[in-house]
Amino acid sequence: MAINPTSLGLTFDLTQARSVPKSQRWVLVSMQEFGPALVTMLWRILGNEEDVCDAYQDTFLRLAHLPNQQKPHNVRAYLFKTASNLAISMLRQKRVIHKYRELLARDYQPDTDNPVAELDSIQLQQRLREAITELPDYLGAVVVLRDLAQMPYTQVANILGIRTAAARVYRHKAIKLLAEWMSQSENREER
């Protein structure tokens, strides 16, 4: 049996806890402060628990391993921007895999039309997520932060480093594009 402080019942954990360097504590503080909102945003973007955990982990991993372990000027902005970018990339990857699987399935299975599925809310959400991945990054980020993270325009503008009016314009453009693309995909499915 390995002899270590834990096996000997020593209070090593406590001493170790005290030894957390001050320069690193902000990582845990940010996790405590922004974690719940981040998880909610990721859940709304991804809709899958495994993916949420992966994206969340990657976000904090990047934060903790910044060059020279420096704290970003605006931790909140860094976290939300990184998380939304990661989540959208994950959605894009999943979409490619899904398309590939669909192509394979089409070769081996006959097409089945399901009119009820069109009304399905899950399909509607899926279509929205797919459309979000098609948006240019600057528009996608605004929709994610404004509509899925439910931040006010001033905060969205602050995080993205743009003006509040620009954030409003981007959101308007994004919704217009989403509406067009979602109706196009619906029409394609109907055919």
Partner 1 sequence: MKTVYHTNRHCSMQKGPAGFWNGLRSRLTERLNDHVAQCPRCQRRLAMVHRVELALTLVKTQPQDIGLLARANTKALNTLKHSLRNAPKSAALRIAKADLSRLEKMRPGLERVLSAAACVFIVFMIKTGISRSLLDYKEQGEAVIKNYYARNLDDSLFNEIFPDDASHSV
Where do contacts with partner 1 occur on this chain (CB under 8 A)?
13, 16-17, 19-21, 24-25, 27-29, 31-32, 35-36, 39-40, 42-44, 47, 49, 52-54, 56-57, 59-61, 64, 121, 124-125, 127-129, 147-148, 150, 175-176, 178-180, 182-183
Measured from the CB atom, the residue of 1 and 17 that comes closer to partner 1 is 17
Q: Is 154 exposed, middle or buried (0-12, 13-18, 19+ CB in 10 A)?
A: exposed
- Asked if 41 contacts 148 with a C-beta cutoff of 8 angstroms, the reply is yes
- Asked if 145 contacts 159 with a C-beta cutoff of 8 angstroms, the reply is yes
Task: State CA 35 to chain mean position distance.
Answer: 12
Nearest by Cα to 52 from 63, 61, 41: 41
Measured from the CB atom, the residue of 25 and 98 that comes closer to partner 1 is 25
- Tell me the closest approach of the beta carbon of residue 64 to partner 1, in angstroms: 5
Where helices occur in 69-163 by DSSP H, the ranges are 75-108, 121-134, 137-143, 153-160
Measured from the CB atom, the residue of 25 and 106 that comes closer to partner 1 is 25
Measured from the CB atom, the residue of 21 and 115 that comes closer to partner 1 is 21
- Asked if 76 contacts 41 with a C-beta cutoff of 8 angstroms, the reply is no
- Tell me the closest approach of the beta carbon of residue 104 to partner 1, in angstroms: 28
- Tell me the closest approach of the beta carbon of residue 62 to partner 1, in angstroms: 10
- Tell me the closest approach of the beta carbon of residue 80 to partner 1, in angstroms: 15
Measured from the CB atom, the residue of 6 and 106 that comes closer to partner 1 is 6
Nearest by Cα to 127 from 184, 83, 87: 184
- Tell me the closest approach of the beta carbon of residue 49 to partner 1, in angstroms: 6
